Amino acid sequence: MAEAKLIEKYFPHLTDRQREQFAIMLDAYPEWNSKINVISRKDIENLECNHLLHSLALARFIKFTPGSKVMDFGCGGGLPGLPLAVMFPDVQFHLIDRTGKKILVAQEIAKACGLENVTFQHGDVAECKDKFDFIVSRAVMPQPDLIKLARKNVSSVQRNALPNGLITLKGGDISAELRKTPAGGEVAELSNYFEEPFFKTKKIAYSPIINK
């Protein structure tokens, strides 16, 4: 079984169970990717750094309070939702994607990891009526567009250190799109969390969404 050495470098306090779950992901994603393409075939060899650790940048930005509910919008094959579900076993994650094959991969990997804090939805976010503390997403669409779509799903009940809202993984210059988002947002440079070259241009964009 593969070892998640890079993840353990930055998250040294993982439980044995968490180490095992990340190792399962490192084996399962390449196997599934050979059947259903959810990660670029040129990039699958960089799975741990460019995909799993990238997803876990959100765990450096915020420590979700136990009992929180998080939606992964456009989860693809389960990123960032599944790595976050391993990291936060007391938080409920709901993964949504329009592509059935990608949801299938995410479901099978979650099953292989024994994750019990994850639910799945094949379809559009407009069909989801549930409320969440946070919406997370990985390079799906511009921040203002995502806020419009997901606003109705953000709970008005606050239980985390940050106000409820949208937290996305981004790359490159995002200043133009963030000018169209609500005040009180924040941008975090992933190079402050991780030293690998991949993270030099990568960012987290956080936008609070206040519903009354």
pLDDT given for residue 175 in this prediction: 86
pLDDT in tens, 3-32: 889 999 999 999 999 999 999 999 999 999
| Predicted local distance difference test score (pLDDT) of residue 183 | 82
- What is the percent of the chain with per-residue pLDDT over 70, rounded to a whole number? 100
pLDDT at residue 140 greater than cutoff 80:
no
Model confidence at 173: pLDDT above 90: no
Q: What's the pTM value of the predicted model, to 2 decimals?
A: 0.96
Q: Which strands form 92-97's sheet, in the order they lie side by side?
A: 118-122, 92-97, 69-73, 134-138, 165-171, 202-208, 186-189
Name the strand (E) or helix (H) holding 92: strand 92-97
Q: Write out pLDDT tens, residues 175-211.
A: 888 888 888 899 999 999 999 999 999 999 999 998 8
Per-residue model confidence (pLDDT) at position 186: 93
Residue 138 has pLDDT above 80, yes or no: yes
CB 179 within 8 A of CB 100: no
- For the CA atoms of 72, 76, 82, 85, what is the dihedral angle to 10 degrees? 10
